[in-house]
Amino acid sequence: MNGFLNINKAADMTSHDVINRVRKIFHTKKAGHAGTLDPFATGVLPVAVGRATKFIEYLADCDKSYRAEILFGVETSTGDITGEIVNRAECQLQSINAVDSVLNSFVGMIEQIPPKYSAIKINGRKAYELARKNIEFDLPSRQVTIYKLNLIDRTENTLIVDVDCSKGTYIRSLAVEIGRRLNNFATLKSLQRTRVGNFFIDDSITLEELQKVGESALIDVESCLDHIEKFDLPSYRRKAFLTGLSTRIDQNFIEGKIFRVYVDNEFIGVGKIVDGEIKSDKIFSL
């Protein structure tokens, strides 16, 4: 049992709760997830089982997509509806043209300050642990990229938007900033992750469905890594790759670049360019 699962996480459970359920269903301790979802959030949570757990890290750089509902008129301590209200004012959403203009202003590379209630480490401690103890600290801004930010629906005090973004983007922070640019307080009311790389919400299954279908839901590792460029290794260098030896290559690649490595059309692992040679980074083939 080696492969990935495209789990549709339900609300009010942690990502680790999902892993515990998967471990029980498959009777294995080897399971892990890529890209944590907050308990109140729903949607795509890639889960690795067996030898696939070694390859979770390669999903870290994948772009993601979300459907977010933003509530205006309140601002909370966490940036979402689960936090304590810290600011409140009568909501006055602007015209549709003004809203579109503000949304478009976020598209591209932006500076974003992560929410204090996040798992980012501050001097070895998670930010949310410090925030819960009312310890003052500052989080540095980071560069993230918003590829798409489209308005789907609106009411008197809410907007529903679809977001395509790079890794490291906090939709809670985005919701708060959208509110401020619209001269409002805002917080994230609901969030569904609709995509992580090649894991799409339409192909996902719930834990209840997984309980019924079991192993048939597993997706092979190489299919989940096809965002990584392929490299064909000569068959006579197979053993060298699997035993950690480097193979000299003719092409010039960027140092540290990674590849899906194949021998005779068989996926055998992920390789990395080291000193102009390709060397195994993670081995899949036994």
Q: Which two tokens stand for residue 212?
A: 């019924």
38 included as an active-site residue: yes
Q: What are phi and psi of 59, to 5 degrees?
A: -90, -10
Tokens of 31: 């399971």
Cβ atoms of 81 and 187 within 8 Å: the answer is yes
Give the residues across from 238 on adjacent strands. none
Q: Do residues 3 and 221 touch, judged by C-beta distance below 8 A?
A: yes
Cβ-defined contacts of 119-123 (< 8 Å, 24+): 119/36
Phi, psi torsion values for 131, nearest 5 degrees = -65, -40
Report the distance separating Cα 58 and Cα 199, nearest Å.
13
Instruction: Compute the distance between CA of residue 246 and CA of residue 274 in angstroms, rounded to an integer.
Output: 8
Residue 59 contacts by C-beta under 8 Å, 6 or more apart in sequence?
Answer: 34, 35, 46, 196, 197, 224
- Which of the following is catalytic: 12, 17, 38, 63? 38
Residues labelled catalytic: 38
